[in-house]
Chain A
Amino acid sequence: MTGPNATSRGAFFTRLKAGLAKTRELLFMNVEAIARGIGPVDEKVLTDLEEALILSDAGAELAAEYAETLRAVWRRGELPDVDALRARLRKMVAETLATRMVPLVVVPPYPFVVLVVGVNGAGKTTTIGKMAGWLRLSGHTVLLAAADTFRAAAIEQLGVWAERAGADIVKHKEGADSSAVAFDAVRAAKARGTHVVLVDTAGRLHTKSHLMEEVRKVVRVVGKEIPGAPHEVLLVLDATNGRNAIAQARTFQEFTGVTGMALTKLDGTAKGGVVLSVTREIGAPIRFVGVGEKPEDLRPFDAESFAEALF
């Protein structure tokens, strides 16, 4: 899967911009000087910028770090105006995240198994639905594993997405063992020659060790059936989450060995600045951003657009 193609980047950007225009109306803080990008740089502008970073959930420490670096550059006389300052900050952020711009590529041997994990309400099932849509459009056969056997009607929800995308689904009854569902799904995919298996797991708070053990078991069981699987452990992070995303990433990394991340709900006013901290915590790339509920609203992560949208 090469994911959504590059020409759609423009549309994605417009979408982010539209969200941001509304943000500005709503915004609590006065970051106008930065937003307008005019006038000379002074201490006030640097403070505003630090605030804007904090408001993006980048964290006070990291915001101060960025502000300090920019202050030094400014003192050297390299930042004539706010526009230059903003451009510099974007560049810094984009460069930091550039190494995390690695799209998910689906390659044989099939089945390629993707395990999707995250806390409750992060958007796992919706992300899977959108992924299934994309994969089908790019000619792959897809099987969804309804391994969220806990939440009421989670299986039905995934079933609707399977139907929409034209994907197969393997499901058990509510309350069944999620590893068993994943195992059956992988077996079925092997037998049918399906390209991709997307395993939907129940949302779980990373602090619940028994639930984390449960998902660890899913990883193990899938790996036993197909050496090297799951080929991707995709952690879904909600962009509206604040600093807690760091702990989520750390713990899911520890239990499941995260190999990629999806940042959802970026179509609101939350900026997802916490990924700047998350990427310091774990090495996995950011595969996707979610900017809506339609299949085309799952986009490959683009560091520059992301940095642009931050300020």
Chain B
Amino acid sequence: MFENLSEKFQGVLKGLRGHGRITEGNIEGALNEVRLALLEADVNYKVVKEFVAAVKEKALGAEVLLSLSPDQQFVKIVHAEMTRMMGAQAQELNLARRPPVPVMLVGLQGSGKTTTCGKLALHLRKGKRTPFLVPADVYRPAAVEQLKVLAGQIEVPVFDTRPGADPVAICRDAIAQADRSGYDSVLLDTAGRLHIDAQMMEELARIKAAVDPGDILLVADAMTGQDAVNVARAFHEKLGLTGVVLTKMDGDARGGAALSIRAVTGAPVMFVGVGEKLDALETFHPDRMASRILGMGDLLTFVEKAQEQVDEKQARELSRKLRRNEFTLEDFRDQLLRLRKMGSMEEILGMIPGLGGKMKELKGMAPDEAELKRVVAIIDSMTAKERRNAKLLNGSRRKRIAGGSGTTVQDVNRLMKNFQQAEEMIRRMSKGGMRGMGRNFPFPQ
């Protein structure tokens, strides 16, 4: 699923490639694909509309960088905008006040509140806190028992909730007990409820009024669809959410609900649940989430790495040389070394758009690190003159170079062939962006 979307997305971006810059005309198809991808990722319709409009505005106004082709630039803008909308960086619970600090967990039935409660307790304890767990769900059969069992597993103290007790009273009593016992944080596991159940929503408001929580976290299922906005809005209006925990992120849901909830409530996603074990709770990274929703994780890493490694000036110089047919073996070596700085060959090939699914066949073709070293050794064994003018390399020179670099004449010959092909490829790449090099640069078969 992930790969399909990524490829689809890139397919449309092909349309952008080759154009000097992003214009109103050539961006429409790409924007529509973003729209469809986001809807399929369960981002709310209205949020998608706003997002696409924002991206369009940014893309049209943007200055095209020389190191990036227009399609890469577009990807970058889309991603940056999504990351921005998702909130700046990871946020922690607001525990900096007089303990014990109550934290309320609220949400629909089955979103994962009780499990998340256990995970948060473990997380807090790892941060040298002393959490206290409070089962306040007296409705679902055995919900109290469930939290007590989880508490036992991680050895965190738990309030002894009596069946049938009033949830408001439970929370109040639990906090008093936490205060007496010196616990610094209290996790209130409230019952799952529908956001349109007025009576049950009122119960949450009463708990809030009774305990004055430091945080009220909405626990939301990453698989939630369009309805996420209705749910988030209702909980937010009633309670004023301070954060969100996105659960079941270990599945293949793209988690568009994260963006919807953020857009509606403004509350940051603080944690994501990534498994059934109690340590499977991670802090939230907006940029990773953006990649996931867009279904384009690796592509983006590639663009960013390329951008880091190829500075504008060098790129300009390279393109000038290419225009004048001045691409030399020295440049070839520099390109190779630059590529190597980006990561191992396998890693790089994995990042190149469109190659995701073809990694297996490519593995045999990619030069390993040893081969790369050999190539660099061969080029280093040439004289400066030879490096600048490959035509000089006759048989006796090749023999000398092979001896000097500890390789064979065949190796040198293969390199020369590769160089010529690379030259051709780079010429294409300078016209069509980096995509042109994706297939087989720098080692054609």
Contacts and interface: CB of A to CB of B under 8 A. Distances in A.
Interface of A: 19, 22-23, 26-29, 51, 54-57, 59-61, 119-123, 126, 129, 150-154, 156-157, 159-161, 174, 205-208, 238, 240-245, 247, 265, 267-271, 274
Contact of B251 (A119, A154, A160, A243): A119
B318 interface: no
A241 B225 contact: yes
Given A153-B146, A270-B225, A240 B45 contact: no
Given A207-B252, A268-B227, A157 B141 contact: yes
27 contacts: A22-B196, A54-B39, A54-B45, A55-B226, A56-B226, A57-B226, A60-B36, A121-B109, A122-B110, A150-B276, A152-B149, A157-B143, A159-B141, A206-B251, A207-B251, A207-B252, A240-B224, A240-B227, A242-B256, A243-B41, A244-B223, A244-B253, A244-B254, A245-B223, A247-B1, A265-B109, A268-B195
For the complex of A and B, the 6 pairs showing the least CB-CB separation, nearest first, are A242-B225, A121-B110, A160-B141, A242-B42, A153-B146, A152-B149
Contacts of B221: 121, 238, 240-241
Interface stretch (B205-213, B230-238, B298-306, B396-404): B230-238
Nearest to A211: B276
A238 B110 contact: yes
A151 B143 CA distance: 11
A113 to B, nearest CB: 23
Contacts of B153: 152
A52 to B, nearest CB: 9
A242 B226 contact: yes
B417 interface: no
A27 B231 CA distance: 10
Given A26-B233, A240-B231, A159 B226 contact: no
Contact of B44 (A28, A161, A207, A269): A28
B108 interface: yes
Interface string B141-181: 11101111110010000000000000000000000000000
Interface of B: 1, 35-36, 39-42, 44-46, 108-112, 140-143, 145-150, 153, 194-196, 221, 223-231, 233-234, 248, 250-254, 256-257, 264, 276
Given A120-B276, A153-B145, A243-B225, 9 more contacts: A26-B233, A60-B36, A157-B140, A157-B146, A159-B141, A174-B149, A205-B251, A240-B231, A244-B253
A27 B251 contact: no
Contacts of A29: 45-46
A153 B141 CA distance: 9
A123 B225 CA distance: 17
Contact of B226 (A26, A54, A174): A54
A161 B45 contact: no
Contacts of A152: 145-147, 149-150, 153
Contacts of B233: 26, 28
Contacts of B46: 28-29
A23 B227 CA distance: 10
A239 to B, nearest CB: 8
